[in-house]
């Protein structure tokens, strides 16, 4: 159990699955740092535009999730970092700044195509974080 835990979310369904694990790992009375990286393109004509087209929808979903957590009595603190840097770097910096004891994230958020272009955040976290990283795989679907 962790008294301060950072849940890294991109607002995807897989990130929501990771939230279940974060809630399980959070000590009673602990603090859940809900961290979202709003990654932006840098330079050129696209400079300042979100990398993910539905960023506003994702942010609204995350804010609604934080409200639900607070309604359930969880000390949830939302941190959104608008950055041109890689998400894993921003997550590691936030975990350090918030004195998180561990990071919980999903193994896939953006999907195969965007993940191939932008890289695997969970893989980078495992290599660069200064605290344990719990990577929650996507749900397993039954094949008929």
- Token pair in block for residue 36: 């979202």
52 within some domain: yes
Domain that holds residue 44: 27-77
- When divided into structural domains, the chain yields a total of 2
Q: How far apart are CA 96 and CA 81, in angstroms?
A: 14
pLDDT at 115: 47
pLDDT digits (tens, 9 = 90+) for 84-104: 888 999 999 999 999 999 999
> pTM of the predicted model, to two decimals?
0.87
Residues of the chain with pLDDT > 70, as a percent, come to 85
Contact 102, 129 (CB under 8 A): no
Please name which of 30, 34, 37, 69 lies closest in space to residue 51, comparing C-alpha atoms.
37
19 within some domain: no
Place of tokens 């999903």: 106
Contact 109, 54 (CB under 8 A): no
pLDDT digits (tens, 9 = 90+) for 54-64: 899 999 999 99
């Amino acid at each position: 159990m962790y008294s301060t835990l950072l849940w890294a979310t991109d607002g995807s369904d897989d990130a929501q699955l990771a939230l279940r694990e974060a809630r399980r790992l959070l000590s009673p009375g602990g603090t859940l740092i809900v961290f979202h990286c709003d990654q932006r393109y840098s330079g050129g004509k696209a400079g300042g535009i979100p990398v993910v087209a539905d960023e506003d929808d994702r942010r609204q979903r995350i804010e609604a999730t934080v409200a639900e957590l607070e309604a359930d009595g969880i000390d949830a603190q939302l941190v959104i970092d608008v950055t041109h840097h890689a998400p894993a770097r921003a997550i590691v910096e936030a975990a350090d700044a918030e004195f998180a004891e561990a990071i919980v994230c999903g193994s896939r958020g953006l999907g195969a195509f965007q993940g191939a272009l932008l890289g695997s955040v969970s893989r980078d976290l495992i290599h660069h974080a200064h605290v344990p990283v719990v990577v929650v795989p996507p749900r397993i679907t039954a094949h008929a």
